[in-house]
Each structure stands twice: as C-alpha cells, then as structure tokens.
Structure 1
Amino acid sequence: MTTHVAVWWQDVVVPAELAEVADQVDYQRVVMNPGATWDYFPAHYDPEYARRQGHPTIFVNTMHVAGFVDRIATDWAGPYSRVVRRKIRLVGSIYAGDTMVGRARVVAKRQDDAGRLLVDLEITVYNQRNELCCPAEVTLQLSG
C-alpha cells in the first residue's frame, strides 16, 4: 500500500522537477476506460476500425490521458491537493501496448484573490518512444 505524504504550499520550491511517472497501458485497459465512460468511439475498442483510420491499433481516449495527468499532479501533491484547472492538448496517441511516460515540473505558486494557495505545473505525456502525446497545464490547490 502506498502512503501519500502531503505537500504543503509553503514548502513548494519554484522551479522544481517532479519524478517521472510511467504507466504500462495494455489492451484491456484501453477498452475498459471508454466502456466505463460511455465513450464508444470504435477506435478505442475495435482494432480493425483503428487500422482503417490509419492507426496501428486501438488507442486510449481523452479521459484516460486527463486522468493520468491528474494522477501525476495529485500523487506528487498528496491527499489534500485538488485540481482546480487542467488544460490538455492531444498531439499524439497512446496505443494498446504503449507505456505512458509523464514528466512534470512546478512552474509557479501563488495565492489568488479568494485566498486559495495554488501551484502551477507543466506536465508532458510521452510514449515509450519519447514521442510527445500530450502537453498539459495543471493548477492545484494546496493546504498551507
């Protein structure tokens, strides 16, 4: 069992590199996510359809990538963090059998007008071939 330690806003150093996160994506996981989210686009579960569209096989959906981005941020920040903003751009695909590799860095921290303690992260998701698949920006609210 993994124990997550909270990162406190006052202890956050800017800039800072976060540990790389890797996640193997097998065929079953590619199919399970769109099934759970009712995203029935055929390229997420039908390899023949995906090939007819120019892909080597099925690929993860947007929510799968967004969840991975959030996981990178909140696994680092701990159980008292909350994602308050996420911006992602899909520029490549993660296929069944690929490994998602997430790299992140802290780029800013601030207190907003409402008094929330915020930390901005830049996160990039690559595949195992080091091809960029998703640049992302995440803002977390942390405890003081």
Structure 2
Amino acid sequence: MTSMKTRRFEDVSVGEQLPALEIPVTVALITGGAIATRDYFPGHHDKDAAQELGSPHVFMNILTTSGLVERFVEEWSGPEARFKDLKVRLGAPNYPGDTMTFKGEVTALDADSRTAEVTLKGKNSMGNHVTGTVAVTLP
C-alpha cells in the first residue's frame, strides 16, 4: 500500500506546476531499462557497440524514457489516476553521468472526462531529452 495521495480533479487548475524530478542517468538505469523492455539493441547495453555507432556511451531507449515520463506524472497525480494518452518526442540522448530534470504543468482540463493534460519536458546538459503531453483521468 502506498502513502501517496491521488489528486482529485476539483483540486487541479490550468497553469499548475508539477514538482520537478531529477533523474540521475546511470549505466544501470540505461541497461536495466533496455533489458526490462526487451530492447536488445547493442547501443543500449554495450559501450563498444554504441561507440562504433558514433555514440560516446550507451544511450537510453524510448521505452525507458516513456516509463520515466509516467513516473514523473504519477508522482504528481497519485496511484488512482489513470493514464489516458501519452505523446512524447525524443531530442538529445541521455548518456550515463548526466542528470535529466523533468518539469511540467497542467495545460488543459476536461470536466466531462475528468482529464488533466500535462505538458512536460525532461532536460539534460545537452538540451531537451524528451518533450510531450500526458493526459490523466483523475477521480
């Protein structure tokens, strides 16, 4: 059982800022995420193979990024919120030794469906790693 409280639709407003979330980017995070999502592309777990591709190190896959986006929004919305839609776009790669910081805000509310839209970005030292929107239904 989690002690996290779920946000109620009535308590959310357009323009509300989500608490920032810093994610240290590590080899374990990148390789573990790739293996957990069955993405065996060598650039996600083999440094030599990644370097042969022109990358300085292994790099994060989109499925790990999507999972981190969901974590960021769920830490704000709570465990009873339901993801309705997730749209992300990748930018700068995530490499070990960097930190990705998520920021976001509520950009739309739909009272009929009790849905909040969150616009977000996850930024590292090279720029935006991920940008996108997430729609969550709140109780």
Q: TM-score, normalised by structure 1?
A: 0.90
Instruction: Give the Cα–Cα distance (whole angstroms) in 2 for the partners of residues 61 and 25 of structure 1.
Output: 12
**Matched residue, 1:94:** 94
- The structure 1 residue matched to 2:128, chosen from 126, 129, 132, is 132
CA RMSD of aligned residues (A): 1.6
Native 8 Å contact 2:87 2:134 kept in 1: yes
Alignment-derived partner of residue 71 in structure 1: 71
- Structure 1 residues 2 and 101: CA distance shift in structure 2, 3 A: farther
Task: Give per-residue Cα distances to partners, 1:55-103, cap 9 Å, x unaligned.
Answer: 1100111111001111111110111101110000111111122212101
- The alpha-carbon deviation at position 111 of structure 1 amounts to 3.0
Q: Work out the number of aligned pairs and report it.
A: 139
What code does the residue aligned with 1:118 have?
T
**Structure 1 unpaired stretches of 5+:** none
Task: Find the partner of 2:137 among 125, 136, 141.
Answer: 141
Q: Does 1:123 align with 2:135?
A: no
Q: Establish whether residue 44 from structure 1 lines up as the match of residue 44 from structure 2.
A: yes
Q: Please, which runs of 5 or more residues in structure 2 have no aligned partner?
A: none
Q: Under a length normalisation based on structure 2, what TM-score does the superposition of the two structures give?
A: 0.93
Cα displacement (A) at 1:17? 1.2
Distance in 1 (CA, whole Å) between partners of 2:126 and 2:72 is: 17
